[in-house]
């Protein structure tokens, strides 16, 4: 397949491209600045334009991963605008451009997140669950909605709702230093659910989605076994042989991180990968301990 990828240099993109090349796919990258590979790079400004859109003719699939990082000390109004626009406007731009091609690609895989569901306590969530409340839930709804015109034109659109991705980098890399110093601890009461997925299973799940033409719409990319923050903290501490006695109360976290505390750190999202499993995907990493043990 000839595949166009945005966000290719990010945490997921840098793992995805070598994986796809092993499967003999031809890869084009949307980039802000060229790295000297004009045959495989297409310049764009995610909020404004794609240079030489005619170069997109002949695509089989598009994987859209780009977006402003949600990690910050606090979400200022400016940061929230960047988070939203980098996702929604870039998707709208890609959608318009693809629809103007002589032959649009048959498949569009768009990144989304389980933030779509908001803070739902112990409620078990699947792709059929309604959206939640809050800034991230609203952004995810608009993000997914931006590619709806492609669906109406017959393109198979998949919204990849990612949970916490565990790989060699990303969020885990930021967690390890304090945990290794014995500074890891529970956030709030620790009862909030964390839905996670091993990088290898994420890539395997994407393979499944690309091959199975029956799969469209939202797909949860999470392990079948979500865990509480307390369980996650205890497991990582045990593997590193470090104590995890510290605790950051919810009130203290809100003083430091503001709004993002309740949206990211304290939100409980107990999500299951119903659609992947229904369509035959077999997870290699089902348990948290075995996943973290290999990574750390």
CA atoms within 13 A on the CB side of 215: 26
CA distances from 37 to 25, 71, 203 (A): 17, 30, 25
Q: How far is CA 208 from the centre of its chain?
A: 17
Query: What average pLDDT does the structure give for the chain?
Result: 96
Helix (H, G, I), strand (E, B) or coil at 49: strand
Measure the CA–CA gap between 10 and 165, rounded to whole angstroms.
Answer: 13
Q: Give the pLDDT score at 34.
A: 79
- Residues 98-118 as b/e (b if ≥16 CB within 10 A, e otherwise) read beeeeebbebbbbbbbbbbbb
pLDDT digit string, tens, across residues 28-78: 999 998 777 778 999 999 999 999 999 999 999 999 999 999 988 889 999
Q: Give the pLDDT score at 37.
A: 79
pLDDT digit string, tens, across residues 88-125: 999 999 999 999 999 999 999 999 999 999 999 999 99
- Predicted TM-score (pTM) of the model is 0.96
Check whether 184 has a pLDDT greater than 80.
yes
Ordered structural domains, the chain, with CATH: 2-295 (3.40.50.720)
| Cα-based angle 114, 151, 134 (whole degrees, multiple of 5) | 30
Measure the CA–CA gap between 104 and 229, rounded to whole angstroms.
Answer: 43
Measure the CA–CA gap between 54 and 242, rounded to whole angstroms.
Answer: 55
In the structure encoding, which two tokens stand for residue 269, read together? 């999202």
Measure the CA–CA gap between 208 and 86, rounded to whole angstroms.
Answer: 27
């Amino acid at each position: 397949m000839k595949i166009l990828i945005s966000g290719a240099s990010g945490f997921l993109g840098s793992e995805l491209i070598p994986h796809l090349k092993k499967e003999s796919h031809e890869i084009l990258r949307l980039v802000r600045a060229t790295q000297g590979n004009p045959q495989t790079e297409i310049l764009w400004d995610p909020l404004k334009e794609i240079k030489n859109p005619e170069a997109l003719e002949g695509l089989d699939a598009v994987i859209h991963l780009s977006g402003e990082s949600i990690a910050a000390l606090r979400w200022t109004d400016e940061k929230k605008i960047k988070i939203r626009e980098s996702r929604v406007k870039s998707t709208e731009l890609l959608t318009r451009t693809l629809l103007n091609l002589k032959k649009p690609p048959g498949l569009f895989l768009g990144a989304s997140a389980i933030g779509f569901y908001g803070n739902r306590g112990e409620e078990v969530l699947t792709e059929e669950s309604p959206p939640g409340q809050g800034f991230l839930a609203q952004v995810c709804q608009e993000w997914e909605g931006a590619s709806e015109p492609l669906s109406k034109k017959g393109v198979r659109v998949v919204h990849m709702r990612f949970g916490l991705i565990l790989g060699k980098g990303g969020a885990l890399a930021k967690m390890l230093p304090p945990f290794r110093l014995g500074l890891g601890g529970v956030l709030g009461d620790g009862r909030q659910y964390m839905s996670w997925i091993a990088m290898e299973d994420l890539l395997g799940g994407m393979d499944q989605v690309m091959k199975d033409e029956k799969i469209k719409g939202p797909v949860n990319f999470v392990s079948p076994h979500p865990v509480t923050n307390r369980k996650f903290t205890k497991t990582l501490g045990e593997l590193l042989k470090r104590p995890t006695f510290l605790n950051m109360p919810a009130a203290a976290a809100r003083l430091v991180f503001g709004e993002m505390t309740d949206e990211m750190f304290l939100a409980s999202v107990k999500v299951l990968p119903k659609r992947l499993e229904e369509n035959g995907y077999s997870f290699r990493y089902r348990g948290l301990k075995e996943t973290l043990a290999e990574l750390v």
